[in-house]
Structures are given as structure tokens and as C-alpha cells.
Amino acid sequence: MKRNLFVLIFALLITFALGLNIACAGESTLGIVVNNGSNNISIIDTSTDTAGAPQLDGLFNLAFDVVVTPDNKTALITNFGLGIFFIDLTNSAAPALLGSLDIPEYYEEDIALTPDGKYALISGGNTNTIVCVVDVNNRSLVSQVTMPDYGYAQAVAVAPDGKTVCVADCDLSRVYVFTLDSSTGALTYTGLVLQTGSGGINVTISPNGKTALVPNWASNSVTVLKINSPGNVVKVGDIPGMPAHPQSVAFSPDGTRAYVLSESEIAVLNVSGPDAVSDSGTRINLDTQSSSYYGVDQIAVSLDGTKAYTTSSLVGNEISVVDLNSYSVIKKIAVGNNPAGIALSNGSVPKSDKNKIKSSNKRDLSNKTSIKNKPFQPNKLNEKNKPLPYINMPLR
């Protein structure tokens, strides 16, 4: 009897293992790359670090940043001056346009998601003074807030608490702190404004929600902020000596490392907490060069923390794959022209069939949602005064 029971259990374990392997073989974590120059996207299979031909040709105009919803089914992409585009990822071999949201006279650049994927927060180009909040499921604009003290909204991040929102003003070297109402999507200014180093161009919050890092483009430093509680943020200090023009930061999944992407290098920071962030001294040469876009995330770290992916928007039209154990570039992945933002899905999604990858999804705005005639009035900018999506050297 015991022997039969053992055989039965062993057989069940083998069956489970085989089923798990089959399931895993059919799935892969994806990297979504926004190709600003060729107005399309590339999809990377991170299990093989390969990309098919660029897809959704002609859909965008000046696309910059991308986020992926927690269920891995939808990507949201900012399209500078043409709204937010919602992309169906359920078939990664043929991503499709679900719809788009037009925000009149607004130049969408950076985008961040709340942890539950309910809201997307958007900031714009270098003269933008408005933060927009979008209901992801309904693809509708639910609130806007104007920056206080004539400030600019050039990068935005939401803490894991879903309530604390940090908005970076690169021109005035400040971070403004807001709170987000999870039931309505309304933003409320807390009155907190924190001075960063010169040219705080982006902001990233740690996985535990206690540390925010701001790369300072002009002073080649990183400002460290401490989040004590929802809406309660204080400055800890600045870390100098970063490689030239830091633009993006990505944390390791456990939050013990932060990777600061500059024009052609990555600096590695040690993170023990908001009061204990230090420069490890490690530098990773990417042998490439990237633009300094406002708030656009140009580096992403794999779920297991072993690899980083960086976009090369000025040289090579490629993604650098970095081994975070050896601190070396192990592969270059060819993508479309001038890759800007990159995001990884936070889990497995249906794996691409590389023989079926298409690049013929022409622009179709039949699902486009317009909010014209709504009461929200973003900053009034005509085409002659269209803001720059990147820092115009030298920094003003």
C-alpha cells in the first residue's frame, strides 16, 4: 500500500513538473521599447534577449515613454502632442491598438502607473505646467493639477503606497509632493517642495516606497529623498560624482541597488534605506549614447535582478543588455530608430511567435477617445511654441 502511494505521489510530481515546464516554455517576460525616430515599438523576449521586427508602424508621431499594466495585458505609450495610446499585449506577436486618449494642447512625455494599475499620471515637455491623471480602464481624463509657484511638471512618479506622488521640475531643480485620492484620481498639493541638485530630470521610487532618487542632469549628482508616510517626504542629501548627465534610475527588485543611467554609463549605488544610499564606485561603460528626455525611463531591470536593459537613442538604434553580476554589456539588441522609453512586463505573458511577427499595423484612430469640450484646460501652447521633449544644451 505504501509502495503504491509512493508511486502515485511520484507520478503526480512528475506530471506537475512536466506541466510547469510546458507552461513556462510557452511564456516569456517582455520588454516594450518605444522607437521615437521610426514611430513604432519593438518587443524583446527577455528569455532569449531577441527582438522581432518593429511593430505598429505609423501609429505614433513622437512617442516617448511606456508603462505596462500589472496584469501585463496593456501598454500605455505617450505620444508627444497626440495623447496616450493603449496597446493590447495579449498577443505579443501582433500587438494592437485598443484606443487612445487625446488631451488637447498637451505634450505628453513621462508616464507613471499607480501600483494597482487604476490610474496613469502624465507629465509633459519642458514648458509643461500640468499633471494629468487618466483612468486606465475607461481611458478617460479624470483630473488635472497645475503646478504651484510657476513650476514645471517634467517627470512624475507614484510610490507603492499609491498615494504619494513626486513631480520633478528640471528647470527650477525642485520636487513637488502631491497626494493622490485613489477613489477619484484627484491630486492634492501637500505644500512640500524640495530642492534637488541642478536639473533634476527624472524621479524614481524604491520598491519598498521609502526612498526616491532624482538624477540631476546638470550637476551630475543624485538627490536622495525619504518618504516617511503618504505625502510626507524630506530631502536626505545629494550624491555627487555621477557620470555626465544622469537621466534615469532603476532599482533592483530587492531595492538594495540603484542603477543610474547617464549618457553613456551606468553608476551603481548601494541602498540600505533612504538614510543609507552611497556610491559603490562601480561604473559600467555602455559604449553608446542616449538623449536626455524629461522623465522618460531609459533603463529597466529584469525581475530576477540579473540584467538591465538600456536604450540607445543617439547611437546604434539598439538596446544594451547589461549583466548585473559582472557589470558588463553582454549583448546589443537591434530595434527601431532612436529608442527612448523601455518597460518590462512584471510577469509572464504569451510568448511571441517570431515567425508571425508583423510590422504592418498602420495607424488606426477609430478607437480614439477625444476629451475636447471637457472642462479640463491644459497649458495653451501652439505649434510655434511646442515644447522640447529633451534638454536643450546647455541647460537653461
C-alpha span between 69 and 58 (Å, rounded) = 23
The secondary element (H helix, E strand) that includes residue 136 is: none
Q: Which long-range contacts (CB under 8 A, 24 or more apart) does 368-371 make?
A: 368/83, 368/99, 368/100, 368/101, 368/102, 369/99, 369/100, 369/101, 369/102, 369/139, 369/140, 370/102, 371/101, 371/102, 371/103, 371/104, 371/140, 371/141
3-class secondary structure, 370: strand
CB 315 within 8 A of CB 289: yes
**Residue 337: per-residue pLDDT:** 93
DSSP letter, residue 19: H
Residue 46 dihedral angles phi and psi, to the nearest 5°: -75, -10
Sign of CA dihedral 378, 384, 389, 391: negative
Q: What single string gives the DSSP state of each residue in 215-226? A: EETTTTEEEEEE
Three-class DSSP category at 100: strand
**pLDDT at 127 (0 to 100):** 86
10-residue stretch averages of pLDDT, the chain, 396 residues long: 44 39 50 95 96 92 95 96 95 94 92 98 91 98 96 98 98 98 98 98 98 98 98 98 97 98 97 95 92 94 97 86 98 95 80 39 38 29 50 39
pLDDT for position 349? 55
pLDDT attached to residue 23: 34
Is the Cα torsion angle 108, 228, 272, 219 positive or negative in sign? positive
User: pTM here?
Assistant: 0.85
Pick the CATH number of 28-374 from 3.40.50.10470, 3.90.1150.10, 2.130.10.10, 3.50.50.60: 2.130.10.10
User: Given this model, what pLDDT does residue 385 score?
Assistant: 45
